[in-house]
Amino acid sequence: MEHERSADGSPIFDSLDVDLFVKVLAHTLFGPFFVFFVPIFYIFQGAKVTDPLVLSLWYTNGSLFFGPGRLDWGEQIVLITGGSSGVGELLANTLAVRNVNVVVLDINPIVTENYNITYYKCDVSNWEEVEAVSKKVVEEIGDPTVLINNAGVVQGKLIIDLEPQDVKQTFSVNTLAHFWTLKAFLPAMLKNKSGHIISLASVMGYSGAVQMSDYSASKAAAISLHESLRYEIDIRVPDRAWYKFFFPTIQPITVVKRIIAALDDQHSQQISIPFYTNFVPFLPHLPSFMRDFAQWVANANYSMERFTKVSGLRPDEGAFKRD
């Protein structure tokens, strides 16, 4: 029996997975409009307005009425690292179609017909190159208002087979490059009190796997870096139907759509797709005020306030002096 096919010629049920059901529910039953009124029912049952549950529900869904307006794409300069291929290329071209000024940093040029994409050759793992190119970008295009750290590399080797240059390349591109672009472009965002930063990571940053030790470690570092940044500035998939349903493969266009939607909303958030990735890290899914409270209780945001570096001093830092 022949499968029904969609307009693009692919079987309709090929795109049927748990993420589709979650998406529908997120825009209907669990959408902000309906969930915002849930605390009212608790109040009618005797709960107080000051109860933690009521406050958390209103806090996490209040963006429907109190959040910022939609992002004005016409005023944005979006800089994408690794924007000449994969998700980066698709994202660059998609934004360009929306008349957004896009800057691509990559070691290879991007193939595009969009006039508003400007390419700069740059090895983002090298601070000197990032520093030099950033000055050209600011002078010729302007200060980026959206920074998307997308560049990434994977070796796919066992730990004992990884060469030193493999490990250095993985961390230089997947982690250190984030530091270099932030160092180059974040100061202007802070000065202008406006901007957005997106760090593309991976669920493998939460859980290691065979032949991905360097990649997982580098992505875990990138995730932690982005978490710190937020507080500083406020084996092959089995060919089985059930496995594809619960653990679907995410296409680049899905990632691009979610990134653009997040920028449109202008809210700090963590995008976790496909749906099962939401169950890997638990803490990020608590209400943000509870996460902030945990940070406060642990004194995490102020633990380094009076810190003085003692070990690992470089010659350019001078010797440690005791008071």
State the CATH number of the domain containing residue 101: 3.40.50.720
Looking at residue 235, its pLDDT comes to: 45
CB 204 within 8 A of CB 219: yes
Is residue 38 a part of any domain in this protein?
no
Is residue 165 a part of any domain in this protein?
yes
- Count CB-CB contacts under 10 A for residue 48: 11
Nearest in space to 203 (alpha carbons), one of 285, 273, 283: 273
Nearest in space to 143 (alpha carbons), one of 74, 82, 196, 189: 189
Nearest in space to 169 (alpha carbons), one of 177, 159, 161: 177
Q: What residues make up the domain containing 243?
A: 12-30+68-305
3-state secondary structure string across 222-263: HHHHHHHHHHHCCCCCCCCHHHHHHCCCCCHHHHHHHHHHHH
Structural domains in the chain (count): 1
Instruction: Give 137: exposed, middle or buried? Use CB within 10 Å, 0-12, 13-18, 19+.
Output: buried
Is residue 146 a part of any domain in this protein?
yes
Nearest in space to 308 (alpha carbons), one of 323, 293, 290, 291: 323
Is residue 110 a part of any domain in this protein?
yes
Q: What is the DSSP letter of 174?
A: I
Candidate list 42, 119, 215, 231, residue with the active-site label:
215
Is residue 104 a part of any domain in this protein?
yes
Confirm whether 42 is a catalytic residue: no
Is residue 45 a part of any domain in this protein?
no
Digit-by-digit pLDDT tens for the chain (323 residues) are: 444 455 555 555 566 777 777 777 766 666 666 666 666 666 666 766 666 655 555 555 555 455 566 788 888 999 999 999 999 999 999 999 999 999 999 999 999 999 999 999 999 999 999 999 999 999 999 999 999 999 999 999 999 999 999 999 999 999 999 999 999 999 999 999 889 999 999 888 888 889 999 999 999 999 999 988 988 886 454 455 655 665 566 777 888 888 888 888 887 777 777 776 666 566 566 666 666 765 665 555 655 566 565 545 557 766 656 55
Looking at residue 147, its pLDDT comes to: 97
